[in-house]
Structure 1
């Protein structure tokens, strides 16, 4: 629902505000009261007593988890400025990682721009929103932020506790996120039965010098990367029985997932058998144990690889513990220095192209930066449903992709760069003990099964991602698996719309391409022999010409 009052307008849905605009300028991307469980899953509230009046919205939100509940009375007043207040009370001892307000600042026209930061003790200073992605919180102990955009001066005041900001572009979100309760405090934590607490976010604004809002368009040119599909040993065995399945897309490369904490010679042999059926470059994604003698471990991997018969084009090594994120204020898990890990891997595989980085996402790479001199390439993945799984938010992540690739380039320099797996649904959750089940097929954060991947939305998002990657120098991208909820087809061989798109893109690896992304409007890839255009507003049409 779009609501307007004077120069102010915003979208209201499910108790949250999105696209808060003054005139035509989006000055705040969103304000929401969110509650996270111990795995950082977002609890979906039951909203009752909702009233929408000319200058006020009110409702009650009930968040339930593990037999307890947090009940929150909300009032959003926009008669003069905008005030979003929440009064919460626990029913039972309520466990949570975070309960309270989140404020999102947009990135277009804001990244690198001036901001006045007011701290909880009343002191203030002038700073800048980070241009390259910050691995840790750029601003802490926050009470208010004042920024300038499109001819407006906007102040966002936050009450009820200490807030801090994280650079959400790390996860693909097109925003800087200011949230309540510093991560340095313990989590999960309990809100005692009957405990009450209040919070508020208040926006005020005034006209500043007139500045035209920036055009939210990204264009770039370059060479289109090779396309890879990620496969498991189980998928390899199925593909041997159905060799035509890989011919549907004809990827140049297959990324073979091998977890040394669970897999062994049998899994390597499954990939080797497939190699006899389908000709491609086989890259091994090696999740290494790294919990003992490194030379002994990697020599064992080399022995098994030789025994399997699998001929690999490259090996990407990631210590098992690095699959999980280490948030600010948390202790890093035991792990040998990465220089030692890669040295042992190089010794065991002296003639193989050796890669490193993270099998998870850019935040983990940004926070634990690899010794790039030890590597032949660096890789990380993407997932657009870490924080917000709505259609609008997923498409917004395309704005952040050039920020991610530019920040990765600042870390790895001219080392070859690979991106992926980068799938709509999450294959493994670095921020909790599990991915979130999704039996009802909802728009759900951190789920391993997002139904949109199997439809036109998944095809549209993939075209947008392909366009957003152009110009980054990425040499290989891995936008899907072969089968299942993140694949190009189901287990019976029924293909999804994404398969047709990837077949066209894979056929043009190494070709010159011009790309343009206009957020929420369209994405276009222009090759010498074809144009691929997708509608990012309704996701219903992807055209090949």
Structure 2
């Protein structure tokens, strides 16, 4: 990553994209990129053919020529920043070409807007026909697109006025917090149009964006001292097929969240017995009768010695994503499983929600009056998998938990697995293959699993969950691609030993969780940072664990 400074403007270049565009220290735009996405929403990797970088006293120019890696398309991105009186202007163009028709779901500019100073703030939208509309950026997470038909945007971020003009396509906006991204996303083309579409000789992409930013940063208010709050219960996830071990080898007493289907063999159930099974997640096969399948499974679980404290069930078609307005899958809806589930598991707390991301939870919300808790899970790499994007998701998590709490009607949040890698893929047949163990979106086998980076990420997740009153969540699996290894297992052991204890939490760039019996400290940035308590410097994306044992 290369940092560019031009007067009051500061930005970063990373893999051909512009990142963290700031004026007077205020983040105006989180990212300007130009992805080409396949029919399953995977992003085609590219290779650089050439770059030009020119820096002057009042002007910055960057040009990036690239080609698809293993896919036939080429492109050129050109960006120029010029200083203005009291501000600056960023002008950018992108051209994408393919020698033969290439089926894509997206091709062209994507703008990521930051959350800080933006969520809940006023927004003026200029539409393609010239009309202007006054609205607001969503405070709670929008289940669908909050803004359609965008030709321009105008708003203010912490004292800096921002105006954005877009040409070459009609754009719309997503609330990316649904997928744990710490941003709102302006993208093309509209999802109401047929997908996939063709990028090819008769359909090239030619787009332009102009961003004008002027003003000075407002002085930030001093942060309040952290309050003492209960630490959530940390669990380990088990799922036959993804895991082979029924218990974590180093953490045998850790409470378990077990996911299975009614077809699970008796031998597997027997192997799962003999330990804590605090949470059970049941995937009901398509076409199965819940009135007969669920009682039969409950009887088999009892024979295997599994007595869960909490149970939720989900029809298998709801493992895939659907738009808020539907259409919904044939068969029972999630809330229609509650009555047969209560009959099969009398006296057990029953949950409602989803077994995938907050996106699906937000679009198909449980009725809090008929469930005892709500649930969903999370992955950090739905849209992007570089280190910076993964760490940025930690900023979105408190807002996700707060939005979920607002929908829970006072019921507790007993959440599923939160990991970097993807457990299941609601947007494609399965997680994407990753034989080279690269940093790729929508893969299960992420190379950071089991490293200090993974542990630092988990501390950030846990801290955000504590601040927003989450009751429990899983941070790793017993084994397999999402297994808790190395420092992550140590973090989970530290937290499990302090479940429910009062802790102090700091959500700064260096995340800290302090109990009376020790501290978890994580550097959630890509730069070396001093610890907030003195005593040394933390390496990028690393963790310090005090008070083990």
TM more than 0.5: yes
Indicate the residue corresponding to 1:158 in structure 2: 166
Call closer, same or farther: CA 1:393–1:234 in 2, change over 3 Å: closer
Alpha-carbon distance in structure 1 between the residues aligned to 2:387 and 2:129: 39
SS in 1 for 2:366: coil
Pick which of 338-347 and 189-198 moved more: 189-198
Aligned to 2:494: 504
Q: Specify the SS of the correspondent of 1:453.
A: coil
- Is 1:73 paired with 2:76? yes
Separation in structure 1 between the aligned mates of residue 163 and residue 311 of structure 2, nearest angstrom: 49
1:59 CA displacement = 2.1
Change (3 A) 1:236 1:119: closer
Q: Deviations over 1:53-106 (max 9, x none)?
A: 1221112221256xx522212211223511110122222120111111110110
State how far apart, in whole Å, the 2-side matches of 1:290 and 1:56 are: 55
Given that residues 184 and 328 in structure 1 are in contact (C-alpha distance below 8 angstroms), is that contact kept between their aligned partners in structure 2? no
Alignment equivalent of 2:100, drawn from 92, 95, 98: 92
Give the Cα–Cα distance (whole angstroms) in 2 for the partners of residues 351 and 373 of structure 1: 17
SS at match of 1:487: coil
Deviation track 1:485-504 (CA, whole Å, cap 9, x = no partner) reads 21123xxxxxx111111111
- Contact preservation (8 Å) 1:221, 1:471: no
Runs (4+) off by over 4 Å = 213-220, 234-237
In 1, Cα distance between equivalents of 2:326 and 2:362: 16
Is 1:525 aligned to residue 513 of structure 2? yes
Q: Distance in 2 between matches of 1:431 and 1:239?
A: 29
1:442 counterpart SS class: coil
CA offsets per residue over residues 360-395 of structure 1, 9 Å max, x none?
Answer: 010100000012222111110011111121111111
Which deviations, in whole Å up to 9, do the C-alpha atoms of 1:18-51 show, x marking residues without a partner? Answer: 0001121111111000111122111111221211
How do 1:212-251 and structure 2 match up within 5 A? 212-213=219-220, 219=226, 221-233=228-240, 238-239=245-246, 244-247=249-252, 250-251=253-254
Aligned residue for 2:517, secondary structure, equals: coil
CA distance in 1, matches of 2:221, 2:154: 19
Gaps of 5+ in 1: 490-495
* Displacement of 1:314: 2.0
Any idea what the Cα deviations from partners look like across 1:408-447, whole Å, max 9, x if unmatched? Answer: 0111121121122111111111111121222222221111
CA distance in 2, matches of 1:387, 1:146: 25
Residues 262-271 or 193-202, more deviating: 262-271
Structure 2 counterpart of 1:492: none
Say if 2:245 and 2:479, in contact at 8 Å, map to a contact too.
Answer: no
Name the count of aligned residue pairs.
Answer: 523
Which of 514, 518, 521 is residue 504 of structure 2 equivalent to?
514
Rounded Cα–Cα distance in structure 1 between residues aligned with 2:79 and 2:329: 43
Unpaired stretches in structure 2, ≥5 consecutive residues:
84-88, 526-539
Match in the other structure for 1:441: 437
* Counterpart pick for 2:397 among 383, 401, 416: 401
Structure 2 distance, partners of 1:269, 1:149, is 57
Verify: 1:61 aligned to 2:66, yes or no: yes
Contact persistence 2:96–2:108 (CA under 8 A): no
- Please give the TM-score of this superposition, normalised by the length of structure 1: 0.91
Q: Which moved more, 1:335-344 or 1:135-144?
A: 335-344
Deviation, structure 1 residue 304: 3.0
Taking the TM superposition and a 5 Å limit, the aligned residue runs for 1:283-298 are 283-298=279-294
Q: Once structures 1 and 2 are overlaid, which stretch shifts more, 129-138 or 310-319?
A: 310-319
1:456 aligns with 2:452: yes
1:493 corresponds to which residue? none
Give the deviation of 1:329 after TM superposition: 7.3
Partners of 2:226 and 2:317 in 1: CA distance: 38
Report the counterpart of residue 179 of structure 1 in structure 2: 187
Residue of structure 2 aligned with 1:346, choices 304, 325, 342: 342
- Give the deviation of 1:218 after TM superposition: 9.9
- Is residue 257 of structure 1 aligned with residue 264 of structure 2? no
Does the 8 A contact of 2:243 with 2:477 survive in 1? Answer: no
Do the aligned partners of 1:149 and 1:211 also contact (CA within 8 Å) in 2? no
